[in-house]
């Protein structure tokens, strides 16, 4: 009897523990493999071992140790303090990245005068719309629509030619301040006015406008370039300043977290000065300014660069977003708000999930057949590539937009209908604004999927050698395409562990920056 009792109470935990350990190891296996591969890539791209040991020591003492110490100290104060510091570090970096991309567009693709002419041409119909809204007379909707479309078409026909024929041409930075700085100053001014009052709004607006003009003048004077000067001021310096101000005014208990970015910047500068003074050489990294800005295509790893790929990818993403987002959100709105429960609706439903599983190379065939063979477009152009990638991400945008729309509570819709709103008014005023953060997150994630797609671009006949596109119909390059060309045309160990590693770092940086924006947007709005 006592013997049986003993056995009943004792269960071997050895198998359970072993099983748990095996499961945990399997979970980590994939993640660790990727991590090891990324360490190899980083090592090849940055060549840290080629630097003097003294160089590492200097930066360890000026940058790494102070950063870790400050970060730890912030974390001990509160998690929020550390988060504030991290955001203050990452946000300016990502903002500068995107400002740089924008500057590249204005330097190499879109002449500022052309840009100005189209902005003015589109400002005319926008003004007409505002004027029509202000009038009290009721105009039939179709007449209003016709008028706006007519004015838009007329203005696009006439105004660009007029502006481009002007005898005196404004400087590059003036155009950017006028077309981008002014709207930014207005919008942020309005936003700050709502947050902190009228006076602050005006001050902020004026400061933004003045600051971007100063950025232009300084850029010209220092030889840094007027366009990058304005772009960096508007899209990196202004958001950073705004973030710092918000933290200082609204989160005083966390303001100490801003010490972290200050320590990082100060440490990097101090390290740079010390290294220069001591004459220590840094690593011979493959990711350097030359690699980012060179358009050379050759078999010499040291001379090639990824610049035309970067510009191509940025342009492609604009085209993809312009096509896939309205269509995808529209389809999601139809399925969630309008669709009756019919067979056709169910067909669309099943169809979308199947479309998301179609291999990307098949989308390439679709683009090749549809746009190149039957629509008669030339192979591998910006428009064809963008449209093909848009078809590829279309189902992804629909699925994520549907989720965002479904998350809008039904009570909000009922309230709107109860006030006598029509379906379209409910969609426009209630559903879409509430679903906007979710839609934005899904869109960014879809674009970050499109940014790495290579096969569809190859199938539509994108050129193996490409430059910087100058029109809708010039052949397009992209970062992943550039990687493929390097990997296939120059397939040699000399390319695989040097330039390709650097290319992977650039492509992954672009992707991860997009993903982190998406995650930030999601978390920011989930907290509300």
Partner 1 sequence: MSGDAATEGLTRRTQNSSRELLAKAFFFGCAALSVATTLSIIGLLVYEAAKFFTITAPLLGIDGPTATLTEFFTGSEWGLQGPNLGVMPLVAVTLMVTFGAGLIAIPLGVATALYLSEYASERARSYLKPALEILAGVPSIIYGIFAVAYITPVLDTLFGVDGLFNVASACIVVGIMILPMVASVSEDAMQAVPDDLRQAGYGMGATKYDVSTGIVVPAAASGIFSSFILALSRAIGETMAVTLAGGSLARSFDPTSLASYLSLFDPDSYLEPGMTMTAAMIQLLTGDVTGGGLAYRSLFAVGLVLFVITLGMNVLSDLIARRYQEEYQ
Minimum separation from the CB atom of position 269 to partner 1 (A): 32
Quote the CA–CA distance of 370 and 388 in Å, as a whole number: 9
CB of 53 to partner 1, least distance (A): 26
Residue among 141 and 289 whose Cβ is closer to partner 1: 141
Residue 150 CB coordination number (10 Å): 12
- Interface with partner 1 (CB under 8 A), residue from 107, 258, 387, 391: 391
Contacting residue, 79, 202, 224, 424, with partner 1 by CB under 8 A: 424
- The least distance separating partner 1 from the CB of residue 62, rounded to whole angstroms, comes to 31
User: Can you tell me the distance from the alpha carbon of 31 to that of 55, in angstroms, rounded to the nearest whole number?
Assistant: 31
Please work out the total of residues on this chain that contact partner 1, with binding judged by CB under 8 A: 94
Give the footprint of partner 1 on residues 28-67 (CB under 8 A): 29-31, 33-34, 37, 40-41
Residue numbers 446-505 binding partner 1 by CB under 8 A: 448-449, 451-455, 458-459, 461, 480, 483-484, 487-488, 491, 493, 496-497, 500-501, 504
CB of 510 to partner 1, least distance (A): 10
Helix/strand/coil for 335 = helix
Residue with smaller CB distance to partner 1, 274 or 366: 366
Contacts of 442 (CB under 8 A, 6+ apart): 396, 397, 399, 400, 401, 403, 404
Distances (CA, A) of 272 to 60, 161, 276, 355: 12, 50, 6, 52
If we measure between CA atoms, which residue out of 26, 65, 39, 64 comes closest to residue 508? 39
Least spacing, CB of residue 33 vs partner 1, in Å: 6
**Should residue 238 be labelled a site residue for partner 1 when binding is judged by CB under 8 A?**
no
- Helix count (H) and strand count (E) of the chain? 25, 0
| Least distance in angstroms from the C-beta of 100 to partner 1 | 21
Largest CA distance in the chain: 109
Q: Is 340 in the site for partner 1 (CB under 8 A)?
A: no
Of residues 125 through 184, those in contact with partner 1 by CB under 8 A are 138, 140-142, 145
Question: What's the min distance (Å) between Cβ of 344 and partner 1?
Answer: 8
Which CB sits closer to partner 1, 72 or 338?
Answer: 338
Q: Specify the residue, 117 or 388, whose C-beta has the smaller distance to partner 1.
A: 388
CB atoms within 10 A of CB 39: 10
Residues 93-122 interacting with partner 1 (rule: CB under 8 A): none
Q: Would you say 155 or 454 has its CB closer to partner 1?
A: 454
Q: Which of 24, 72, 79, 224 binds partner 1 (CB under 8 A)?
A: 24
Dihedral (Cα; 325, 326, 330, 332), 10-degree rounding: 10
Dihedral angle sign, alpha carbons of residues 375, 377, 381, 382: negative
Q: Which of 220, 429, 509, 515 binds partner 1 (CB under 8 A)?
A: 515
Q: Are 463 and 381 a contacting pair, CB within 8 Å?
A: no
511 binds partner 1 (CB under 8 A): yes
CA distance 321 to 480: 18
Q: What tokens appear for 414 in the block?
A: 């009922």
Cα–Cα distance measured from residue 239 to residue 93, given in angstroms and rounded to the nearest whole number: 11
Write down the least CB distance from residue 358 to partner 1, Å.
7
416 touches 425 (CB < 8 A): yes
CB of 101 to partner 1, least distance (A): 18
In the bound complex, what is the minimum distance in angstroms from residue 50's beta carbon to partner 1?
19
Q: How many CB atoms lie within 10 A of CB 67?
A: 18
Q: Which of 230, 427, 430, 476 binds partner 1 (CB under 8 A)?
A: 427
Put residue 359 in one of left, alpha, beta given phi > 0 → left and psi -120 to 50 → alpha.
beta
Binding mask 300-339 for partner 1 (x = CB under 8 A): --------------------------xxxxxx-xxx-xxx
Phi-psi region of 380 (alpha: psi -120 to 50; beta: other; left: phi over 0): left
| Spatial contact of 463 and 477, defined as CB atoms under 8 Å apart | yes
Q: Within positions 357 to 376, which residues make up the interface with partner 1, using CB under 8 A?
A: 357-363, 365-366, 368-370, 372-373
């Amino acid at each position: 009897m006592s013997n049986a009792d003993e056995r009943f109470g004792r269960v071997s935990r050895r198998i359970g523990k072993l099983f748990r350990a095996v499961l945990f190891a399997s979970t980590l296996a994939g993640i660790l493999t990727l991590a090891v591969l990324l360490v190899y890539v980083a090592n090849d791209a940055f060549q840290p071992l080629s630097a003097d040991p003294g160089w590492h020591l200097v930066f360890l003492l000026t940058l790494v140790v102070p950063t870790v110490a400050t970060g730890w100290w912030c974390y001990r104060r509160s998690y929020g303090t550390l988060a504030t510091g991290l955001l203050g570090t990452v946000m300016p970096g990502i903002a500068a990245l995107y400002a740089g991309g924008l500057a590249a567009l204005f330097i190499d693709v879109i002449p500022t005068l052309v840009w100005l002419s189209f902005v003015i041409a589109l400002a005319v119909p926008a003004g007409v719309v505002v004027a029509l809204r202000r009038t009290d007379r009721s105009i039939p909707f179709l007449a209003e629509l016709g008028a706006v479309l007519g004015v838009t078409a007329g203005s696009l026909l006439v105004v660009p030619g007029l502006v481009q024929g002007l005898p005196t041409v404004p400087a590059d930075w003036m155009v950017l301040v006028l077309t981008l700085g002014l709207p930014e100053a207005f919008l942020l001014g309005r936003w700050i006015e709502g947050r902190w009052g009228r006076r602050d709004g005006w001050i902020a607006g004026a400061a933004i406008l003045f600051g971007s003009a100063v950025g232009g003048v300084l850029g010209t004077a220092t030889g840094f370039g007027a366009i990058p000067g304005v772009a960096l001021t508007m899209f990196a310096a202004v958001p950073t300043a705004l973030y710092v101000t918000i933290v200082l005014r609204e989160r005083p208990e966390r303001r100490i977290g801003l010490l972290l970015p200050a320590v990082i910047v100060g440490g990097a500068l101090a390290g740079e000065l010390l290294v220069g003074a001591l004459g220590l050489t840094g690593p011979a990294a493959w990711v350097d300014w030359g690699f980012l800005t060179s358009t050379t295509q050759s078999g010499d790893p040291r001379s090639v660069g990824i610049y035309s790929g970067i510009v191509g990818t940025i342009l492609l993403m604009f085209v993809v977003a312009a096509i896939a987002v309205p269509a995808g959100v529209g389809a999601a709105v139809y399925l969630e708000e309008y669709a009756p429960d019919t067979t056709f609706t169910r067909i669309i439903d099943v169809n979308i999930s199947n479309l998301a599983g179609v291999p990307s190379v098949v989308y390439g065939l679709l683009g090749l057949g549809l746009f190149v063979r039957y629509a008669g477009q030339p192979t591998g152009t910006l428009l064809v590539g963008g449209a093909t990638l848009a078809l590829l991400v279309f189902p992804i945008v629909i699925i994520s937009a549907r989720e965002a729309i479904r998350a809008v509570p039904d009570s909000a819709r009922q309230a709107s209908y109860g006030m006598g709103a029509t379906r379209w008014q409910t969609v426009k005023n209630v559903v879409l604004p509430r679903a906007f953060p979710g839609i934005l997150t899904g869109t960014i994630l879809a674009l970050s999927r499109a940014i790495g797609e290579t096969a569809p671009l190859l199938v539509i006949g994108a050129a193996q050698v490409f430059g910087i596109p100058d029109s809708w119909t010039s052949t397009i390059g992209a970062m992943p395409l550039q990687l493929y060309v390097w990997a296939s045309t120059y397939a040699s160990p000399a390319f695989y562990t040097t330039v390709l590693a650097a290319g992977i770092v650039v492509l992954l940086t672009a992707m991860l920056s997009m993903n982190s924006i998406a995650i930030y947007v999601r978390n920011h709005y989930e907290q509300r």
